[in-house]
Amino acid sequence: MSRKLFGTDGVRGRANTYPMTAEMALKLGAAAGRYFRSEGSLAHRVVIGKDTRLSGYMLENALTAGLTSMGMNVLLLGPCPTPAVGFLTRSMRADIGVMISASHNPHQDNGIKFFGPDGFKLSDAAEAEIEAMVEAELELASPESIGRAKRIDDALGRYEEYAKTTFPSGLRLDGLKVVIDCANGAAYKAAPDVLWELGAEVIPVGVNPNGKNINDRCGSTFTQTAAEAVVAHGAHVGICLDGDADRVMILDEAGRVADGDQIMALLAGRWAQDGRLNGKTLVATVMSNLGLERFLSSRGLELLRTNVGDRYVVEAMRAGGFNLGGEQSGHIVMTDYATTGDGLIAGLQFLAEMARSGNAASALVRQFEAVPQMLKNVRYAAGLEPLKADAVRAVIDANTARIKGKGRILIRKSGTEPLIRVMAECEDAGLLADVVDGIVAAVEAAV
């Protein structure tokens, strides 16, 4: 069954523009409520979290209306990280979890993600069924069965306490000065609190959301602000989250950035030494650097690659029984602890390694030498299909032949934005730039 509304991470778009309108949120709420409403059950429960975008209020109210119209009782969590919604969906025995967020996108965008009762994001098939219900005539709940809605005041505290339990017992963060950049997003309260309670001296950045400054010159997609804070305060490490806190980037004491590949390499190596890396396998996407694959191979470990999107990483992990995976972009999935990427808990695992080993962050963030990699994006208008143009295909084929045996090319449409992403890896930096720029120029000409 095909999907038009749902992308690689829920439904996403520009706020107050199709499909991110109050009308569509109401329909999605009603459809999801009908899909998850178990027959014969007396209690139907939904948890809804959101990040700090201004449009979150509008979508939260519309979703609540749709869900309660189907007889679902709605528990409103307020601003909280995406992984907190996954955790609380399962912890509070909810039928559905909903997160209102466009993750790392600017404040003008928003999105709606659904979690099943097990706390995991929905499969493609489940999303397709919900999408089919959006335009269907659904039987509403009877007047006496309409659901209720209420705020849950201690939701964030529940998540914070759980996050602390993932930090190894017997270790503390005393003596560590940590910059935490919350991107003016969903973790602006939780992340600094957890770090401080574990003993760290905390320097918060991006913790003053106003509805419009989420991811604005801060967070995991703009690490310069945190890097400047690390250097200015003489911090030992920096942790940069994105708007919904399911991604993380780590900064060493000089402000240098370690992406998700380096973090996964560190954790995979440590977990393998401890005998806790299931199947001796790390799951990552086709975007992960060849250097990561070489690092793992040298230690007798496997890299299982998936399509781009943390949901596909999680699906492969669950299918194979693996417990560590993620994306170069900073989604680190540890199914021993969470059902989705969790930037805060991944950051805690890095800090635990610093505390355990006594090493500086700079000694931990460079686990392997990355093969030169270049990624460029081309924005296009809705309705266009630039990758189908004959001229673009010809340029792609020619450059694929040029780089064959020396590297690789990966070209794809973004699942969350109207972008064509052109990525290549090659030891020859000159050839790498020439190949990427040539393809980008062809795509730009087509759009």
Q: Tens digit of pLDDT for each residue in 64-97? A: 999 999 999 999 999 999 999 999 999 999 999 9
Q: Phi and psi for 115 in degrees, rounded to 5?
A: -120, 140
The residue that leads in pLDDT, 135 or 283, is 283
pLDDT band at 2 (very low <50, low <70, confident <90, very high): low
d(CA 326, CA 329): 8
pLDDT band at 401 (very low <50, low <70, confident <90, very high): very high
What is the pLDDT at residue 82? 98
- pLDDT tens digits, 23-47: 999 999 999 999 998 655 556 999 9
The phi and psi torsions of 202 (rounded to 5 degrees) equal -105, 130
Any idea which architecture 373-446 has in CATH? 2-Layer Sandwich (3.30)
Average pLDDT over the chain, rounded to an integer: 95
Q: Does residue 191 sit in helix, strand or coil?
A: helix
Domain covering 158-255 in this structure, CATH number: 3.40.120.10
CATH architecture of 6-153: 3-Layer(aba) Sandwich (3.40)
Q: Domain locations in the chain?
A: 6-153, 158-255, 260-342, 373-446
103, 220, 288, 329: the catalytic one is 103
Is 68:38 a contact under the CB 8 Å cutoff?
A: no
pLDDT for residue 199 is more than 80: yes
Percent of the chain scoring above 70 in pLDDT: 98
| Distance in angstroms (rounded) separating the CA atoms of residues 178 and 446 | 46
Contact 225, 206 (CB under 8 A): yes
Q: For this structure, is 145 an active site residue?
A: no
Domains 6-153 and 373-446 share a fold: no
Q: What is the pLDDT of residues 202-220, one digit of tens each?
A: 999 999 999 999 999 999 9
**CB-based contact 33:71 (threshold 8 Å):** yes
* Class of the CATH-defined domain 260-342: alpha beta
Report the distance separating Cα 236 and Cα 256, nearest Å: 12
